Amino acid sequence: MTTTTMTRAGAAVTLRGVSRVYGRGTAAVRAVDNVTLEFPRGGWTAVMGPSGSGKSTLLHCAAGLERVDGGQVLLGDTDLTAIGDRALTALRRTRIGFVFQSFNLIGSLTAAQNVALPLRLAGRRPRGAEVRDTLAAVGLADRARHRPRELSGGQQQRVAIARAMVTRPEVLFADEPTGALDSSAAHVVLDLLRQMADAGQSIVMVTHDPMAAARADAVVFLRDGRVVDRLVGAGPREVADRLAGWEAGLGQAGLGQAGLGQAGLGKARR
């Protein structure tokens, strides 16, 4: 875990007053409620919060997978809320990578073919070396011809990361990337993400796991669709305590009153 956050100038993704509402009238749920937030360029940010706090919705809005109902989402300088569906689709294929908890690989394709898919979708003919190098970067050079069912869960997730990275996206988004993995496979995936972040890749990751969140440079906490807290350079214990406080509905002030953990009332430390 690095305690200093080495980020390049500017934000990778900027959310300004972003809201996403599901349903209407009395049934309306403000899944994301007026969130203003920057995900730094070249930094790894974890997003945590109680179940239903809006983490996945926020990630989908930030990645342009879902349209917002209010506010602005900027990828670098590009306002995703101001571009049409075709431009957004093209942008998603070239400038964003997305990794899901359940890998979402295509079972009938080999690992190499899965990795080549985003290039083909973007209208490019993949060069063999490009796909090979990307698989090698996730430690799977020798599994190129395997199909997903012939790979372990951890290996499948590494293929999914290679697929997300083959277009060299500005931001890699990951929704619970270790949620379906045992702890040793999770470690391998988290080591890989750490290595990528150290090499300058911007990463935004939703997770329930304090061990995973503590590998990131910063942790943002959501509750009821709002950003309520942030930690920088925190260890797993501190992250777990802070999450427990928000899950218990106590918040930071409540943590002090209830004597839960060591989270304290301080601002994020650097």
Ligand X SMILES: Nc1ncnc2c1ncn2[C@@H]1O[C@H](COP(=O)(O)OP(=O)(O)OP(=O)(O)O)[C@@H](O)[C@H]1O
CA distances to 67, 186, 246 from 62, rounded to whole Å, are 9, 24, 23
Which of 13, 15, 31, 46 binds ligand X (CB under 6 A)? It is 31
Task: Pick between residue 59 and residue 144 the one whose CB is nearest to ligand X.
Answer: 59
Q: Which residue shows structure tokens 């898919």?
A: 117
- Least spacing, CB of residue 46 vs ligand X, in Å: 13
Q: How far is the CB of 66 from ligand X (least distance, A)?
A: 9
Bridge partner list, 40: 11
45 binds ligand X (CB under 6 A): no
Distance CA 157, CA 185 (A): 9
267 touching ligand X, by CB under 6 A = no
The set of long-range contacts for 122-125, using a CB threshold of 8 Å and a minimum separation of 24, is 122/90, 122/93, 122/94, 122/167
- Of the candidate spans 50-58, 104-112, 189-197, 235-243, the one that interacts with ligand X by CB under 6 A turns out to be 50-58
Shortest Cβ distance from residue 166 to ligand X (Å)?
Answer: 27
Question: Does 52 participate in binding ligand X (rule CB under 6 A)?
Answer: yes
**How near is the Cβ of 109 to ligand X at its closest, in Å?**
28
Note whether 54 binds ligand X by CB under 6 A: yes
Footprint on residues 56-85 left by ligand X (CB under 6 A): 56-57
Tokens found for residue 121: 């979708």
Cα–Cα distance between 10 and 130 in angstroms, integer? 29
51 binds ligand X (CB under 6 A): yes
In whole angstroms, what is the distance from residue 48 CA to residue 26 CA? 27
**254 sits near ligand X (criterion: CB under 6 A):** no
Tally: H helices and E strands in the chain: 9, 10
Closest CA to 57 of 79, 41, 77, 35: 35
CB of 163 to ligand X, least distance (A): 22
15 binds ligand X (CB under 6 A): no
Please pick, from the candidates 7, 53, 113, 201, the single residue that binds ligand X as defined by CB under 6 A: 53
Q: Say whether residue 261 binds ligand X (CB under 6 A).
A: no
What are residue 219's phi and psi, to 5 degrees?
-125, 130
List residues binding ligand X (CB under 6 A).
Answer: 22-23, 29, 31, 49, 51-57
